[in-house]
Amino acid sequence: MTEIPIRSIIVSLVAIRQMQARHEVLLLKRTQTLIGEWCQVAGSIEDGETAWQAAVRELAEETGLRPRTLYSADICEQFYEADRDAITVAPVFVAFVDATAQVSLNHEHSDYRWVCFDDAIEMVAFGGQRRILRWIEDEFVKRKPSSHLLIDPG
């Protein structure tokens, strides 16, 4: 019997801003992995980092944004990678950012868009992303998130 390895070496973060009564999600168009696909912020955990620290760092590196409020999303993104014959599990975080903050993309992305949840769900490529976006809208926008999920980045 052969086991499929489970890797947990990356994080995923959904950035949200509030414009009047509408919440918008930040999607980034990738240039290196998943070229041309719209995705949320994601990246590897570096040595000595916690998962949430990696998420905050990736947000800053990929977009120039800083979280006003940071939460554990209480969900993980998971997917099978055929080239590695492995399952990747990534903790997901939610960052509420200032509505007027300017996005500054790094080389990993060619474009960005702030879109409503319904549009974001149509733009992303994978069912796992759509499930995560629906979960975050339900648990962090339509209702007040649990204070137990709040992370103080210091």
For residue 87, how many C-alpha atoms fall within 13 Å in the half-sphere facing its CB? 8
Q: What is the pLDDT of residue 4?
A: 93
- Domain 6-151: CATH superfamily, name plus number: Nucleoside Triphosphate Pyrophosphohydrolase (3.90.79.10)
Neighbours of 71 (CB within 10 A): 24
Q: Which DSSP letter does residue 50 get?
A: -
Q: What is the mean pLDDT of residues 23-45?
A: 92
Q: What is the mean pLDDT of residues 99-115?
A: 91
The pLDDT of residue 154 is above 90: no
For residue 62, how many C-alpha atoms fall within 13 Å in the half-sphere facing its CB? 28
Question: What are the residues facing 19 on neighbouring strands?
Answer: 22
For residue 8, give both structure tokens: 């947990």
> Which sequence spans correspond to the domains of the chain?
6-151
Q: What is the mean pLDDT of residues 48-70?
A: 97
How does residue 36 score in pLDDT terms, banded at 50, 70 and 90? confident
How does residue 150 score in pLDDT terms, banded at 50, 70 and 90? very high
Question: What are φ and ψ of residue 114, in 5° steps?
Answer: -95, 120
* CA atoms of 35 and 23, how far apart (whole Å): 27
The pLDDT of residue 136 is above 90: yes
